[in-house]
Amino acid sequence: MGSPGPGLLSLVPFVSVDHMMRIVWDIGPERMIVELAAYIEEDFRRWELFDKTPRIAAHSAEGVIELMPTSDGATYGFKYVNGHPRNAAAGRQTVTAFGVLSHVDSGYPMLISEMTVLTALRTAATSALAARVLAPPGAKTMAIIGNGAQCEFQAIAFKALAGIEAVRLHDIDPKATAKAAANLAGSGLAVVSCRSSEEAILGADIVTTCTADKRFATILTDNMIGAGVHLNAIGGDSPGKTELHRDILLRSEIFVEYAPQTRIEGEIQQLDPSHPVTELWRVLTGLAPGRRDRAQITLFDGVGFAIEDFSALRYIRDQIGRTGEYVNLDLLADPDDPRDLFGMLLRHRPG
Amino acid sequence: MGSPGPGLLSLVPFVSVDHMMRIVWDIGPERMIVELAAYIEEDFRRWELFDKTPRIAAHSAEGVIELMPTSDGATYGFKYVNGHPRNAAAGRQTVTAFGVLSHVDSGYPMLISEMTVLTALRTAATSALAARVLAPPGAKTMAIIGNGAQCEFQAIAFKALAGIEAVRLHDIDPKATAKAAANLAGSGLAVVSCRSSEEAILGADIVTTCTADKRFATILTDNMIGAGVHLNAIGGDSPGKTELHRDILLRSEIFVEYAPQTRIEGEIQQLDPSHPVTELWRVLTGLAPGRRDRAQITLFDGVGFAIEDFSALRYIRDQIGRTGEYVNLDLLADPDDPRDLFGMLLRHRPG
């Protein structure tokens, strides 16, 4: 005789990496990024409702493990994410992640999901959402400096959401550029591989930086950026890791997700803590202007914020019923009488 | 053609509630509590090595959701735990939990486990570990006031670790007492069901309080506690929730897990923040005395600390290979080239 099976209340849907990839192809990567952006925009528009806790980080010599919780009062979510720059040498991801969504009223989890793939999609969706209100009108060409794991996601997000038709790629490692160019071959984007950052930014209306170097780097110097460009700086996302020369920041109108976090992690860690920045949610709700004129340099200093993960988990929760791409995990004890946990154990005694 | 399966690096062992119950019966509940206590003691003895972060709590009108992270420098762990007193009315557990253990050097998770059952076991193990150095010598009888989900675990832990032969049960709900007495019938303990707290504590060397009421309650008043008793106060574990009259605290030598947390959550929230308390790890390492004489009243003001969960997860990690009680989850993306996340997605395109 087997043990009684777990009750319905104790089951939590789990979306594996394989499930997530099936969901992406069921919906289509571009459409999924567009829909993710809509969920993120919806949550950014109700920004003031959210609990905004800074991430809780455990630092070590090798990297960092972070927990990023947030809540809108009805639903609670958190993401576990690591950042270990030396992982790649051992064939591991620099960044991996998973997340959980729960009911605030019962504390019971309603979803556990892989978030390595999902974070790549939501990061690109957030960048493109920012570009919709910040990029110069009629932008068609984007340079992408840094052709690692995030590169192609940025490319297809900007095609789907910001009207980009051509991408100009550069990486200090030509193999990374070749990899990205090959992956984007069927994307419908015109792809140009470039031997230098200077060459990549020629004619670009938008410049995305997403390098992985964990140090104060200068991917772009001041003389490289002319009037009217939108900068989408994604790689500078932790203390001690920046990509842009400080002088570019001083010439730009700067937009961020959540200022208290970005001042620690973003490009603006190079600036005085009182330097004016605009939170993106204020632009999306109409409380602040986005791009004001064609000549302005705009900068989205993206570091990734918990609400974006919350939106992404919410989106996945809304997809799993239709797609069936999940399995139920027996994660929560479900005794017949909640006070009788020991009795549940006794009733599962073998023999 | 199916998709390529997930690589080995991307798989994380998952211990469900069913697996956990099989592990408990494979080892035996008493022996498992003894072994858990040994892991907890080992970690308490290297206390100063651990990152000790206070829990990160998201409070709502209905309850609280908490993340409890810690690390010993080589291994990182966190527990997700909720506390929702009104859950029981809907057939749900008041407290459910799950936990994750990870490699600090790569950030990769090595274990995901249910922790509702495991927390009940580790809480009882910690109480009994404290009693070993605090209870009066030769203690044979324990009163347990509050006969909910934690009651039987406390009883068998004190039998296995502290030489208890008889338990005297009382709960304001006689059905809870009847449930606990029935569950303990085959335990080898002499069980006496009592109609009042006063009756339950008659002749008891140890008094455990583990009621669930979320308010300032007075389960024990000052005149009820005589010389030489050890108090094991488990139920007072969050702000606004206590069980003992303040006057008892003033007559007791007080021992806690981690003072900064217990001053907020434990019985000692009723006392001045400068009131002297001793952290249990200091007794276990010989830096501070435990019970000094037979007449002393000792109090272990237990609230549950992240290191105990870390020890418990570490213990389960060491059991799953031998017992085989787990399944692998495809939680982490594992592309052939870590920079080629998008390529992994493309190679999983159906058709």
Q: Over 50: is that where the pLDDT of A182 sits?
A: yes
The answer to whether the CB of A254 falls within 8 A of the CB of A268 is yes
- The model's pLDDT over B80-115, given as tens digits with 9 standing for 90+, comes to 999 898 888 888 888 899 999 999 999 999 999 999
- Residue partners of B238: CB distance under 8 A and separation at least 6: B64, B83, B214, B265, B303
Task: Tell me which of B339, B344, B349 to substitute to probe the interface with A (most A C-beta atoms closer than 10 Å).
Answer: B339
pLDDT at B221: 83
Distance set, CA B260 to CA B209, B264, B268 (Å) = 22, 7, 11
pLDDT digits (tens, 9 = 90+) for B292-321: 999 999 999 999 999 999 999 999 999 999
Q: Please state, in angstroms and rounded to a whole number, the distance separating the CA atoms of residues B212 and B210.
A: 7
Where is pLDDT greater, at A42 or A226? A42
A338 — contact with chain B (CB < 8 Å)? yes
pLDDT tens-digit map of A187-198: 999 999 999 999
ipTM of model over 0.90: yes
- From the number of C-beta atoms within 10 Å of its C-beta (0-12, 13-18, 19+), residue B71 rates as buried
A124 close to B (CB below 8 A): no
Q: Is the pLDDT of residue B228 over 50?
A: yes
> Looking at CA atoms only, how far is residue A248 from chain B in angstroms?
28
* Chain B residues 44-63 within an 8 A CB cutoff of chain A: 51, 53, 56, 58, 60, 62-63
Confidence of residue B215 (pLDDT cuts 50, 70, 90): low
Average pLDDT over every residue of B142-152: 96
**B64/A contact by beta carbon, under 8 A:** yes
Position B146 pLDDT exceeds 80: yes
DSSP H or E run through B27: helix B17-27
Q: Which residues of B touch A345 (CB under 8 A)?
A: 21, 24, 29, 117
Q: Give the per-residue pLDDT at B1.
A: 32
pLDDT at residue A1, as a whole number = 32
Q: What is the pLDDT of residue A142?
A: 98
Confidence (pLDDT) at A109: 96
Going by C-alpha positions, the residue among B136, B110, B67 that lies closest to residue B309 is: B67
Share the mean pLDDT of chain A: 93
Q: Does residue B116 sit at the A interface (CB-CB below 8 Å)? A: yes
For residue A228, what pLDDT is reported?
A: 95
Tell me the shortest Cα–Cα distance from B276 to chain A, in angstroms.
30
| pLDDT at residue A6 in the model | 58
CA distance B100 to chain A (A): 10
pLDDT mean over B344-348: 94
Question: What is the pLDDT at residue B160?
Answer: 98
Calculate how close chain A gets to B64, using CA atoms only, in Å: 7
Mark which residues 294-333 of A lie under 8 Å from B by CB.
329-333
Contact residues for B319 (Cβ-Cβ < 8 A; gap 6+): B23, B27, B325
Look up residue A69 and give its two tokens. Answer: 């919780």
Q: Which residues of B are catalytic?
A: 237
Q: Compute the average pLDDT of residues A147-171.
A: 97
Please report the residues numbered 197 through 256 in chain A whose beta carbons come closer than 8 angstroms to any beta carbon of chain B.
none
The answer to whether B209 and B232 have CB atoms below 8 angstroms apart is: yes
Instruction: Read off the pLDDT of residues A50-71 as tens digits, 9 standing for 90 and up.
Output: 998 767 889 999 999 999 999 9
* Backbone angles phi and psi of B186, in degrees to 5: -95, 15
- Is the sign of the CA dihedral B342, B344, B349, B351 positive or negative? positive
Task: Check CB contact of B136 with chain A, cutoff 8 Å.
Answer: no
**What tens digit of pLDDT does each residue of B161-184 get?**
999 999 999 999 999 999 999 999
Confidence band of B186 (pLDDT split at 50, 70, 90): very high
CB contact under 8 A, A93 and B24: no
State the average pLDDT over residues A91-109: 93
Cβ-defined contact of B67 to A76 (cutoff 8 Å): no
Domains of chain B, earliest start first: 8-117+307-347 (3.30.1780.10), 130-304 (3.40.50.720)
Give the model's confidence band at A88: pLDDT under 50 very low, under 70 low, under 90 confident, else very high. confident
Which tokens hold the place of B89? 């009315």
pLDDT reading at B18 higher than 90: yes
Residue of B nearest to A89 (CA): B338
What pLDDT band is residue A238 in, cutting at 50, 70 and 90? confident
Whether residue B120 and residue A341 make contact (CB cut-off 8 A), yes or no, is yes
pLDDT at A193: 98
pLDDT tier, A157 (very low <50, low <70, confident <90, very high otherwise): very high
Put simply, whether A344 touches B (Cβ < 8 Å) is yes
Compute the average pLDDT of residues B329-347. Answer: 90
- Per the CB < 8 A criterion, the answer to whether A24 and A32 are in contact is yes
pLDDT band at residue B282 under the 50/70/90 scheme? very high
The type of residue at A180 is A
Q: What is the pLDDT of residue B93?
A: 86
Q: Identify each DSSP E strand in B237-344 by its residue range.
A: 242-244, 252-256, 278-279, 297-301, 327-330
Catalytic: A237? yes
* Closest to B114 in 3D by CA, of A120, A244, A109, A276: A109
Please pick, among A237, A247, A272, A318, the residue that the annotation labels catalytic.
A237
- Mean pLDDT for the stretch of residues A124-135: 98
From chain B, pick out residues whose CB is under 8 angstroms from the CB of A62: 104-107
Partners of B343 on chain A (C-beta within 8 Å) are 179, 182-183
Q: Cβ-count burial of B210 within 10 angstroms (0-12 exposed, 13-18 middle, 19+ buried)?
A: buried
Q: Is A176 on the interface with B (CB under 8 A)?
A: yes
Angle between helix B17-27 and helix B29-45 axes, rounded to 10 deg? 100
Of B58, B100, B183, the CB nearest to A51: B58
CB A112 within 8 A of CB A15: yes
pLDDT score recorded for residue B2: 37
pLDDT tens figures, A305-323: 999 999 999 999 999 999 9
Q: How confident is the model at residue A150 (pLDDT cuts 50, 70, 90)?
A: very high
The answer to whether A317 and A111 have CB atoms below 8 angstroms apart is yes
Pairing of strands B230-233, B206-209: parallel
Q: Give which of B22, B106, B328 to mutate to test A binding, by max A Cβ within 10 Å.
A: B106
How does the average pLDDT of chain B come out, rounded? 93
Are the beta carbons of A50 and A42 closer than 8 angstroms?
Answer: no
A contact test, residue of B24, B33, B104 with most A CBs within 10 A: B104
Using CB atoms, pick whichever of A98, A183, A330 lies closest to residue B342. Answer: A183
B342 CB neighbours in chain A (<8 A) are 120, 149, 151-153, 180, 183
Cβ contact A341–B88 (<8 Å) = no
- Non-local CB neighbours of A285 within 8 Å, separated by 6+ positions: A44, A45, A47
Per CB-CB distance under 8 Å, the chain B contacts of A114 are 330-333
